Structure 1
Amino acid sequence: MATSALLALIEQSGTSVATLAEGLDEADLRRSRLTRAELLRLLRVLAASASVVPPSVRDDMPELDWGGWRAVSLRLKADHGEEVDESLWFAVSSLVPATLLWLRVYRQNLPEHFSMTPD
């Protein structure tokens, strides 16, 4: 998949996560089965996309927490449990907002990575 498509998928999934989780605290998130299930699905898509971004692009975007996404991806493999809940909340409350922020910065500073033209 083209780098620009991967970054667009990361951004789109992250925006959907932020929208769904807006106004939820951790307890609300744990209780909301439907929202929780959709957030898990979106975060798995985001983490899987982040895992296949080419190393050269990751090197160009060092402020994105690529290692954090790798760790979250591993922890979200299960469907339930304390580890999943902790990773879900961490991603929703910290990792996604930071990722979206840095993607906006990089879109301005490195437009070639976001351009939908053949590589």
Structure 2
Amino acid sequence: MIVISALLANIIDAGTDALTLAEDMDEATFRRSRLARSEISRLVGVIATNLADLPDAQRQQFAEIDWSAWSALTPQLQHDGPERDEALWFATRALVPATLMWLRVYKEGAPGLFEFQGR
């Protein structure tokens, strides 16, 4: 059974960490920093994987998340080079912040989805 709250927690944690790493970077600094780029790539990959693992009911419930952009991003993360870096920069500056913002909105409306209901 998929624990939705765990997937959402992974997304929020990875997104927050990626934004923290890139906080003071401009695009040129981002492209020069192999270590930060590598870690941001890993974190964005965690977000993409966990979003992909959400059941269809949550995808429909979270309609404002840009599902098509996340789907398009995933294959770009598999390659090295300028296209991957451009996709990561877009994710870091636009896609991740928008996704986290919408998840905050959804949490206000449906806090139970974000709370672990252990047995």
Normalization by structure 2: what TM-score? 0.94
Equivalent-residue separation in structure 2 for 1:112 and 1:63 (angstroms): 19
Q: Distance in 2 between matches of 1:69 and 1:118?
A: 29
Over the residues paired in the alignment, what is the CA RMSD in angstroms? 1.3
State how far apart, in whole Å, the 2-side matches of 1:68 and 1:113 are.
23
Q: What are the superposed Cα offsets for residues 52-97 of structure 1, whole Å, 9 maximum, x if unpaired? A: 110100100111112211111111011x112101100000000011
Deviation at 1:118, TM superposition (A): 4.9
Where has structure 1 moved over 4 Å in runs of 4 or more?
Answer: none
The residue number in structure 2 matching 1:109 is: 109
In structure 1, what is the equivalent of residue 21 of structure 2? 20
Q: Is this contact kept in 2: 1:47–1:73, CA < 8 A? A: yes
Structure 1, residues 23-77: CA drift from partner, whole Å, max 9, x if none? 1111110000111111011111111111111010010011111221111111101
TM-score by length of 1: 0.94
Three-state SS of the structure 2 residue aligned to 1:62 is coil
Q: What are the within-5 Å matches in structure 2 for residues 1-119 of structure 1?
A: 1-78=2-79, 80-118=80-118
Structure 2: runs of 5+ lacking an equivalent: none
CA distance in 1, matches of 2:5, 2:56: 14
Q: Give, in whole Å, the separation in 1 of the partners of 2:7 and 2:59.
A: 12
Identity level (%): 47
Q: Number of paired residues?
A: 118
Q: Measure, in 1, the Cα distance between the counterparts of 2:111 and 2:29.
A: 38
Q: 1:6 to 1:35 in 2, by over 3 A?
A: same
